[in-house]
Amino acid sequence: MSTAAHRTLVLGGARSGKSGHAESLMPAGAVRYIATSALDPDDTDWADRIEEHRRRRPAHWTTLESASGPGLAELLRAGGPPTLVDDLGTWLTTELDAANAWDAPRGTIGTRCDDLVDAVSGHAGMLVLVSPEVGLGVIPETRSGRLFRDEIGALNGRLAQVCDEVLLSVAGLTVRLK
């Protein structure tokens, strides 16, 4: 795939293969990997998942963590080599936490989502975004679960509109939606 302006959104459920597929889309050579989750030393399961992703990535990729330092939209606006963002679900959770928005009305972090969609829309290079597709199951029992599902669903829909390509991974298989 060319490194010219091209934005791809890879959607999928947990353990669907979305991250691995997104990684396979990246060209040989320099790649900027933006990890949206920070390591929590008290959560060994999460640490194991992060380590699994780290082992899979080529050593020559540059990894940035958007959970500490510049925000994701700012990193995307800065440009750079082909970029992979994994994943928008953890980015959204971090944003909801930062805004103390779990009990706030839906749309409370709308300006942050607007900023991200704007940065993706204006991204001039190759960009691959990984995001969970969570609207295919039961309605979450908790308010926070429903809030997350609604917010990520709305964000995914907006990003699908500004991306050149949208893929869906299910059971290790990926299909092109757009």
pLDDT digits (tens, 9 = 90+) for 134-152: 988 888 999 999 999 999 9
3-state secondary structure of 169: strand
End-to-end CA distance of the chain: 16
Measure the CA–CA gap between 109 and 75, rounded to whole angstroms: 19
**HSE on the CB side for 40, CA within 13 Å?**
10
CATH number, domain of 52, equals: 3.40.50.300
Choosing from 6, 53, 60, 123, the catalytic residue is 53
Report whether pLDDT(1) > 50: no
Domain carrying residue 122: 6-176
Residue 155 lies in a domain: yes
Q: Give a yes or no: residue 13 inside a domain.
A: yes
For residue 70, what pLDDT is reported?
A: 65
Q: Is residue 1 part of a domain?
A: no
Confidence of residue 67 (pLDDT cuts 50, 70, 90): low
Q: Is the pLDDT of residue 97 over 80?
A: yes
Q: What is the mean pLDDT of the chain?
A: 91
Q: Identify the band that residue 3 occupies on the pLDDT scale cut at 50, 70 and 90.
A: low
* 68 domain residue, yes or no: yes
Q: What is the rounded CA–CA span in Å between residue 126 and residue 7?
A: 6
Q: What is the average pLDDT across 40-64?
A: 85
Is 53 catalytic? The answer is yes
Give the Cα separation of 135 and 139 in Å (integer): 8
pLDDT for 14: 86
pTM for the whole structure: 0.91
Residue 173: pLDDT over 70? yes
Q: Is residue 93 part of a domain?
A: yes
Domain-embedded: residue 39: yes
pLDDT in tens, 40-51: 788 888 788 878
Q: Is 138 contained in some domain?
A: yes
How high is the pLDDT of residue 135? 81
- The token duo for 45 is 């399961």
Say what the pLDDT of residue 142 is. Answer: 93
**Total structural domains in the chain?**
1
